[in-house]
Structure 1
Amino acid sequence: MDLISVIIPVYKTEAYLRRCIDSVLGQTWTNLQIIAVDDGSPDNSGVILDEYQKKDPRITVIHQENKGVSTARNAGLAMATGDYIGFVDSDDALAPNMYEVLVNLAKEYDAPISHCGYRRISKDGSTKEISGTGMLMVQNNQEAMDCLLSGRHFVGSLWNKLFDRRLLDGLSFREDLKINEDFLMAYQLFKKSERSVYIDRSLYLMFEREGSATSSGTKQDKREKDLLFVAEWIAKDSANTNFETAAQMRYIEILAIEYAWLLSSGRDGELLNIRKKLAETNWEKYDFRLTFKIKLMMLLYAPILYGLTNKVYRKIFKSNWDTV
């Protein structure tokens, strides 16, 4: 059995941590190195991790001062010795056979990246299958990058993926980012991988909760700036590649999100800078859907009208954040 190193950054998740750790320990693929990084949790998370470390030799616990999820993941990577690397969020859980399915697919299709769909469990206990068709996709580099950058078929998160260790050589998480740092890493890994395999089965269980990274904890202006930074970085990095168009379109979409947020928050002083960046992209030449082109035109040329119509739209339709 190849060894899988599972890296779990932990911060203030004592209520969910046992569920997470038990689901990893209960994997049908048993050759695991579980590296749990206590990122200075002020609750009992560190104590719980120490209990598990005493019970199972596969678990290694790192205690560090609170420095953020990227620093925690980097600390885990520094200790990882597995043939494959996986990442799990400490408030989530895995289906019992997730890693067995992913390793077998990676081997069968000689794919450095193997990943799956997921199920989202809301705070009220309701479940949403984000996937589940059973479809299998074996993709070359361009096909996978187009899907990653457009948000089509799968998401850019790390927790539902398994990576050949060699892909991570020379890479580390940016520790100055508070949001989208996982997407940036996913982009770099998919860029290096000539092939990937995706199974549309909900093998990862993501639990929505108060205080999670997707719901709170990071100031809105920092979130917006990090989203824009990552999108711009990828757009520049992808120049003269076969996925340049997909990267540019994602960058334009993030610029539009930033512009709309600045309008709604009254940050008039920054609008000119974003407007200039939008104009420089020549967004008219890209094959956006008509509704998005109308949105861009309203943002740029009729911002007051956009603000009014957007308020009505948001009352009628709730955004699906799984595709953002």
Structure 2
Amino acid sequence: MAIPEYPLISVIVPVYNVERYLDQCMDSLVRQSYVNLEIVVVDDGSTDSSGKKCDAWAERDSRIRVIHQANKGLAGARNAGLDVARGDYIGFVDSDDYTLPDMFSTMMRNMQESEADLSIISYERENPDGSTYSNALSGQKMVMSSENAFKYVNMHGYFYVVAWDKLAKKELFDGLRYPLDAKYAEDSPVTYQLFDRAERIVYDSTPLYRYRMTEGSQSQGITDKFARSTGNMLELVRKKYPQNEPYAAYGHLESIVGTYNRIVLAGRRKEWAEFERSARIELRELMPLAESAELMSKSQSLQWRLLTVSPTIYSVMYRCYKRSHPEISSH
């Protein structure tokens, strides 16, 4: 059966109290060079003017469909969009972010040229002062199997487990939805399943998405859900892609240490004592794997080993480090 040159893409946009940013997000979508879009906007119980803005945009562009629902969180909004999406392909955009004009045409072209099931591009972070940052290696374009996707997602400089830098064939989402009990890192378990389900994946490091760093995006509460998700990812890799276990182990340890660093900065080590204990055990068990694959620098090895030996000294040193380098994320 012939594949249409411009198949329908459903772009799902969860919206909650983003009146300040919504117009820029929507404008960036209606101006996409790829025009065969269905833009599914899910107003997730907004209490500001966001809901009215969504309706106004729908009146301006017939490709926009609006769903108004009681607040269910980001995962619930994404699921509502998935349930009604008519497109052959699914993409996501967060409503406080925006896209560059060729984002979806690039992802679709890469997908068709590579005969892939999942297409990934890169992004730049836009800071409150207007500066931008990207740690993706430039000039990368590769087609890979599920096996290699689990390698690169656990290495620095490639792609991540977020929802909004990907375009997927709709059938990859059959029976798959975002977990409603997660307020943070709800993307990751679904993204890992997409990697596992896709036979071919194409990655292009061109930064065509703009992730806006706001106060809200920096003030996530402490949760171990991402660490649990990467633990499940590690088990999946052990069973199906064992040759990439060192990469999965490294990615899991990074999520553990990142969570622990947030606990330290919040001064909440006592209430997270059990997490600290299990983190030290996993670091001891898994670090040799990551080190044997030369995935860790000497300084990182020393830092993580300090955590296994003396969490108290580690905590003091990390807090001092963060005072000197507040711009560095908590990893």
TM-score, normalised by the number of residues in structure 1: 0.90
> Which one of the candidate residues 201, 208, 211 is aligned to 2:206?
201
Number of matched pairs: 317
> Do the aligned residues in 2 keep the contact of 1:252 with 1:278 (CA within 8 Å)?
no
Contact in 1 for aligned 2:249/2:290 (Cα 8 Å): no
Give the aligned residue type for 1:76: G
TM superposition shift of 1:311:
2.6
Q: Which amino acid aligns with 1:279?
A: I
The equivalent of 2:290 in structure 1 is: 287
Structure-1 separation of matches of 2:111 and 2:180:
29
Match of 1:169 in 2: 174
Deviates more, 1:103-112 or 1:240-249: 240-249
2:225 aligned with 1:226: yes
Q: Which moved more, 1:63-72 or 1:230-239?
A: 230-239
Give deviations 1:24-64, integer Å, cap 9, x for gaps. 11111111111000000000000011111122221110001
After TM superposition, the score normalised by the length of structure 2 is: 0.88
Match of 2:154 in 1: 149
- Against the structure 1 CA distance between its residues 299 and 130, is the aligned structure 2 distance closer, same or farther, given a 3 Å change threshold? closer
Aligned to 2:194: 189
Residues 61-104 of structure 1, C-alpha deviation per residue, up to 9 Å, x if partnerless? 00011110000000000001111100000011111111111111
- Structure 1 residue aligned with 2:320: 312
CA shift for structure 1 position 208: 1.8
What SS class does the counterpart of residue 57 from structure 1 fall into?
coil
Q: Which residue of 2 aligns with 1:41?
A: 46
Within-5 A mapping of 1:53-64: 53-64=58-69
Tell me by how many angstroms 1:284 deviates.
4.2
User: Which runs of 5 or more structure 2 residues have no equivalent in the other structure?
Assistant: 1-5
Q: How far, CA to CA, are the matches of 1:252 and 1:183 in structure 2? A: 15
Per the alignment, residue 237 of structure 1 pairs with 236
Give the CA deviation at 1:166: 1.4
User: Is the contact made by 1:263 and 1:271 (CA closer than 8 Å) also made in structure 2?
Assistant: no
The answer on whether the counterparts of 1:259 and 1:299 sit within 8 Å (CA) in structure 2 is no
Measured in 2, the distance between the counterparts of 1:68 and 1:231 equals 22
The whole-number CA distance in structure 2 between the counterparts of 1:94 and 1:205 is: 6
1:256 aligns with 2:264: no
> Matches of 1:154 and 1:284 in 2, distance apart?
22
Higher mean C-alpha deviation, range 78-87 or range 304-313: 304-313
State the 1:106 CA deviation.
0.3
Deviations 1:199-241 (A, max 9, x none): 1211112222232xx222x432xxx322222122222333322
Deviation larger for 230-239 or 275-284: 275-284
Letter of the 1:252 counterpart: L
Question: 1:122-161 residue pairs with structure 2 within 5 A?
Answer: 122-131=127-136, 133-161=138-166
AA at the equivalent of 1:181: E
Stretch moving more, 198-207 or 30-39: 198-207
Offset, 1:283? 2.4
> Hey, what does 1:79 align to over in structure 2?
84
The DSSP-based 3-state class of the residue aligned with 1:5 is strand
SS of the aligned residue for 1:63 comes to strand
For the aligned residue pairs, the C-alpha RMSD in angstroms reads 2.2
Going from structure 1 to structure 2, the CA distance change for 1:309 and 1:89 (only over 3 Å counts) comes to same
User: What is the Cα deviation at residue 308 of structure 1?
Assistant: 2.7
Contact 2:281 2:308 in 1 (8 A): no
